[in-house]
Amino acid sequence: MGSCYSLLEGSVDSMDYNQSKIRKKKKKNSSSRNKDAFKSSSSFASSAAEQELHRIPGRMFLNGSSDIACLYTQQGKKGTNQDAMLVWENFGSRDDTIFCGVFDGHGPYGHMVAKKVRDSLPLKLCTQWNANSSDCQNGIAPESINSDETGSISMDDEWCCSLDIDDTEKLPDLYQPLKQSILKTFRLMDKELKMHPTIDCFCSGTTAVTLVKQGQNLVIGNVGDSRAVMGTKDKENSLVAVQLTVDLKPNLPREAARIQQCKGRVFALQDEPEVARVWLPNNDSPGLAMARAFGDFCLKDFGLISVPDVSYRRLTERDQFIILATDGVWDVLSNKEVVDIVASAPSRTTAARAVVDCAVRAWRLKFPTSKSDDCAVVCLFLDHTSQAGEETDGSTLESMTEESENPTLSGMNDSKATDGNTQPLNGPVLEQSSTVQPSGEIVPVLESVEEKLPQRCHSTRSLAECISTADDEEWSALEGVTRVNSLLNLPRFLSGDKRATSWRKWL
């Protein structure tokens, strides 16, 4: 009996243990199903919200154009196009207000980060701007930036404000509320990315150069190394290029000092001495080639910040257009060259594409052994009068599909570029250049007129000079590679390191 009792007791314990395992397994499966259901519902809600967002009138994010702007992007040779862009007319339901932006993603999920910022940042800015405007009307001071969430050191106006304005000129009433709105919006955007359930931003991020134009007032918020350039007339009525933003790279003394103060490291590799990068204190990674960015949380404790450089400019009748572009353009074309290309475009609808086509060709000519970078361009024209012979079709938005963001980019309608009656841009532009031809396929440069370009482009090495270079000239493979890789290495963690799977807890 005792033996039987012992066996029975053992069997009871075994049954209890098995039942316990079954209950735990059921609970785990139930929890897993709940998580999957949450992700599925979250994904569905996100998709529905995205579709609703894309149907907003006056909001363009694919290749196309409107009466006052055009935008175009093309994938490079490195994989998925990680550039994103946006033009939003009547922004925030405000008359004569336009929002523009370009976003250059980097890292394994850079394309997702760039698109997320493109879609979420303007909505957050609109909300903050309305709130701050209401506070100002009620006599309440706009909320200041909270330094606790932007970095490990104080991030006050020292890091975010650079006015392009005469000291004697009074700032408009909209500037302070809009500036504080931009600062808080960028902070909230980075916080959302940090906690995002489906986008891993640990070693992925994006730049952002954004502008808000209301009437003659222009406010720019910039993070990273994308750039804004204006085409304007000088006193001699000649078209000149004016750079509106600073490329926020680690080689700037102020940026390097902040990073080093936070124990991050800034140095360039021997093979690429001209490219300063940000590194972890005790690890030769990730080698980020910019000092400010959304995401990239592996570096946020070591001097990388997402605080924007905010600047203001009062537009005048001499200002013709503004170009926002990612570094895939600026790495191979000078400010003056880009301004000349836009001014010489056969029509406004093709100006952004002309810049991208010229940049793609310049990549092949200047860095034939390297993989070209993605390019995204937004052109905003400051006079709202269209050409008599140029009919900008408002239905361009309806004809655009997601294929526009694919490498083929075959969805671009070039009928306006082939119209024989199409006139050059009105206003003060340089003589018609052969940089762009009014043909079905835009050819950036003609060999027969290459000698004319150096007179117009004042860079040390113009596009025409690159074209005229002998075919047998030796090129350095590293020369191209070092210019296009925003991120070199990803931090590696051991499989047992909890930080590899739950990095948000220790940031």
Report CA Rg, the chain.
26
pLDDT interval class at 1 (50, 70, 90):
very low
| pLDDT at residue 22, rounded to an integer | 54
Which amino acid, one-letter code, is at 255? Answer: E
Which position has the token pair 């500037």?
175
Which of 289-303, 339-353, 417-431 shows the lowest mean pLDDT across its residues? Answer: 417-431
Domain boundaries, the chain: 63-385+394-505
What sign has the CA pseudo-torsion 240, 246, 252, 254? positive
pLDDT at 408 over 60: no
| pLDDT at residue 484, rounded to an integer | 45
d(CA 162, CA 164): 7
The crossing angle, in degrees rounded to 10, of helices 110-137 and 2-54 is 70
Mean pLDDT for all residues in the chain = 74
Which amino acid, one-letter code, is at 89? Answer: E
pLDDT digits (tens, 9 = 90+) for 30-55: 555 555 555 555 555 567 777 787 77
What sign has the CA pseudo-torsion 257, 307, 147, 284? negative
Residue from 94, 113, 316, 327 nearest 209 by CA: 327
CATH fold, domain 63-385+394-505, is Phosphatase 2c; domain 1 (3.60.40)
- Residue 377 — φ and ψ, nearest 5°? -135, 135
Structure tokens at 273: 């001495």
Which of 91-105, 194-208, 285-299, 464-478 shows the lowest mean pLDDT across its residues? Answer: 464-478
pLDDT interval class at 469 (50, 70, 90):
very low
Q: Whole-prediction pTM value?
A: 0.71
Instruction: Report the percentage of the chain scoring pLDDT > 90.
Output: 50
What does DSSP assign to residue 143? P
Write the DSSP string, 313-378: EE--TTEEEEEEE-HHHHTTS-HHHHHHHHHH-SSGGGHHHHHHHHHHHHHHHH-TTSPPPPEEEE
Length of the chain counted residue by residue? 507
- Regarding predicted confidence, which is higher, 189 or 370? 189
Q: Which residues of 52-91 are buried (b: 16+ CB within 10 A; e: fewer)?
A: eeeeeeebbbbbbbbebbbbbbbbbeeebbbbbbbbbbeb
d(CA 328, CA 365): 14
- Regarding predicted confidence, which is higher, 186 or 401? 186
Q: Are 436 and 352 in contact (CB under 8 A)?
A: no
Mean pLDDT of 191-201: 94
- Regarding predicted confidence, which is higher, 495 or 89? 89
pLDDT at 238 over 80: yes
pLDDT interval class at 386 (50, 70, 90):
very low
- Residue 210 — φ and ψ, nearest 5°? -125, 150
d(CA 244, CA 264): 28
d(CA 343, CA 346): 9
pLDDT at 76 over 70: yes
